[in-house]
Amino acid sequence: MGRVSRRARGAGAALLALVLVAGLAACTNDPLAEQYRAGDGKGFIAADGFEVVPIPVEDRTAPVDFEGVLDTGESTTSDDYRGEVLVVNFWYAACAPCRVEAPLLEEVNQEFAADDVAFLGVNLYDGADTAQAFAETHGVDYPSALASVDGSIKLAFAGQTPLNAVPVTLVLDREGRVAARVIGQLTETSILRTLVREALEES
């Protein structure tokens, strides 16, 4: 099956992308990102429990093979994203931290729209209508696979990260291996941008 195309959810998407790119220059000195970059490469845990775990190439497990049904009704598999860096965010609509971080994820999605980077949500509990309403409300332009329709996608990632502490965000390298885990709510875009760039620069 071919690459799943990104959805255009609103007429202002192009304008939003320009505004976001213009504003990114002001975000390069984020203290949280600086603390992460100053670490020893074994991970970073903030005082509130927010955890970033980069995984060196030599320590990565096998590629994650998954399939699922998107909130658009289309199907997707891990093969759709091979050769790209894939950001996978686990969420559900009633999760308050998920509502807070959704626009931040979309900001990073827009920044890397011209690169070999894709974003995929995995909604753990909701149906298509709820997932799409959430995306419209929070300006999310990428699709979500629905674990309530096909639970196999949840099982595919179960060995990679705990899913009982949503939100969780994974960065997969071009081979489909987990290159980094972000456990907890993103409050800034800088760390995720750094992780995505590092994955892109590996090859």
Query: Using one digit for the tens of pLDDT, what is the confidence trace for 24-78?
Result: 333 344 444 454 444 444 455 544 668 999 999 999 999 999 999 999 999 999 9
- pLDDT digit string, tens, across residues 129-152: 999 999 999 999 999 999 999 999
| 181 close to 52: Cβ distance less than 8 angstroms | yes
Q: Which two tokens stand for residue 92?
A: 């559900």
CATH superfamily of 13-200: Glutaredoxin (3.40.30.10)
Q: Is the pTM of this model over 0.95?
A: no
Nearest Cα neighbor of 107 from 193, 201, 25, 43 is 193
> Residue 139, by phi and psi: left (phi above 0), alpha (psi -120 to 50) or beta?
left
| 169 close to 105: Cβ distance less than 8 angstroms | yes
Domain boundaries, the chain: 13-200
